[in-house]
Amino acid sequence: MIRILVAMQREADALGVPCELIGIGAENLPETSPDDILVNVGYCGGYKIPIGMVIEPLFAGDAETEEVEDLIHHFPCETRPCFTSQSFVTEPLCRCPAIYDMELFKIRKLPHKALYVLKIVSDNLDEKVCEAFDDAAAWDRVRELLKGAHLI
């Protein structure tokens, strides 16, 4: 079963396809099975990455424990490291271009057969910019990539 997981209602509305709300920080993760294909899409902060860019994470890193989980590359788009934090990141954890979210590392730990992830850079580590972000073209690109991978 393909399970599309998003953190916020505004992401679900922008994506425009059936999906499951998991809450900011993955507070409401669903029970999944080893046969599930998980798809995580949503906003992220970016360091040295333009706002509006669609990114596929190279790996999921836990900002607190520094544990890293490699991810499989699926999409023809830019890739960058992704660090998951328990709170909104306002300062980069490394000096390299990277993205920051609050869900991916937790999602990666769920039972699954495959994991597909696309993040839209909504801000450059500024929560007010994130809250105001709205980019229909970025969501069009996400839908195009998901359709190309036969996920929607």
81-94 residue pLDDT tens: 999 999 999 999 98
Confidence of residue 7 (pLDDT cuts 50, 70, 90): very high
Return the exposure string of 101-117: e unless at least 16 CB atoms fall within 10 Å of the residue's CB, then b.
Answer: bbbbbbbbebebeebbb
DSSP string, 26-40: STTPPP--TTPEEEE
- Give per-residue pLDDT as tens, 60-82: 999 999 999 999 999 999 999 99
Domain count, the chain: 1
Amino acid at 128: K
Range of the domain at 98: 2-148
Task: Return the DSSP state at 48.
Answer: S
> At 24, which CATH number?
3.40.50.1580
Please provide the average confidence, as pLDDT, over all residues in the chain: 96
Question: Up-side HSE of residue 89: CA atoms within 13 Å toward CB?
Answer: 28
Tokens of 11: 């992401």
Confidence of residue 20 (pLDDT cuts 50, 70, 90): very high
User: What pLDDT is attached to residue 88?
Assistant: 92
Closest CA to 77 of 104, 58, 93, 94: 58
